[in-house]
Amino acid sequence: MTDVSTQPVTLASLQQMKAQGEKIACLTCYDSSFTRVLEGAGVEVFIIGDSLGMVLKGYESTVPVTVADMIYHAADVARVGQSALRVVDMPFMSYASPDQALGNAARLMGEGGGHMVKLEGGADKAAVVERLVAHSIPVCGHIGLLPQSVHQLGGYKVQGRDEAGARALLEDARALEEAGAGLLVMECVPAGLATRISAAVGIPTIGIGAGPGCDGQVLVLYDMLGITPGRRPRFVRDFLRDSGSVAAAIEAYVAAVKDGSFPAAEHTY
């Protein structure tokens, strides 16, 4: 296993990585066993994602996931986590208003042990972000494809392909930063646009299907291990197939993110 530092990753250290051009390695994580393996491989940021609804609980989307589900799995990760920054998803309809968001975010951090919460949406969520940040709750934004809005979007589609859509995403990114978000996930965004957004905002950006120009990369853990059933999204690479073990696969993923070989052209839009 890779010899990595156990020094805790913070928003300040991620900001420094962005400034220095060092890529950030991020994966989803849902339990204590994988927490140890991922930290041992040098993963710097965990997203305790509502993707657990599909990969762990068997739902067709993230929509049925509850705050209680997120607290349960976040606490599993926090119980043994030592170094990675833990970002916990706020599930569907848990942040419809600033007051509701504040109560649920407080639980995700207090009971779930999160370091930061993540919510989907752009300028329309600025008031929610402002309320959370005002109460010392760090926020990660999420723009582009919004899995919680899949029924409204009409499926899992790349966002920002035309000029109007691209302009809207850029405005969303700036609005989230101005509201106080400290990190930004971009999902299924054309690579050129994601690069523009990463340069336009001062906060670190994490891409999933958003090309190599982001400050870091994230994949769903089960996707990059090749064990998620069904059709694999274009932006996913199966790292287990050529690695021989789970630990080696995760080390290979971290190395590929760091040296810029992932995502390659075939993983981008």
Which positions are catalytic? 187
Strand, coil or helix: 269 = coil
Beta strands in 150-225 (DSSP E): 183-187, 205-208, 216-219
DSSP helix, strand, coil percent of the chain (3-state; round to 5): 45, 15, 40
Contact criterion met (CB below 8 Å) for 39 and 82: yes
CA pair distance 129, 231, nearest whole angstrom: 34
Angle at 67 between CA 64 and CA 68, to 5 degrees: 100
> What secondary structure, in 3-state letters, does 119-141 show?
EEECHHHHHHHHHHHHCCCCEEE
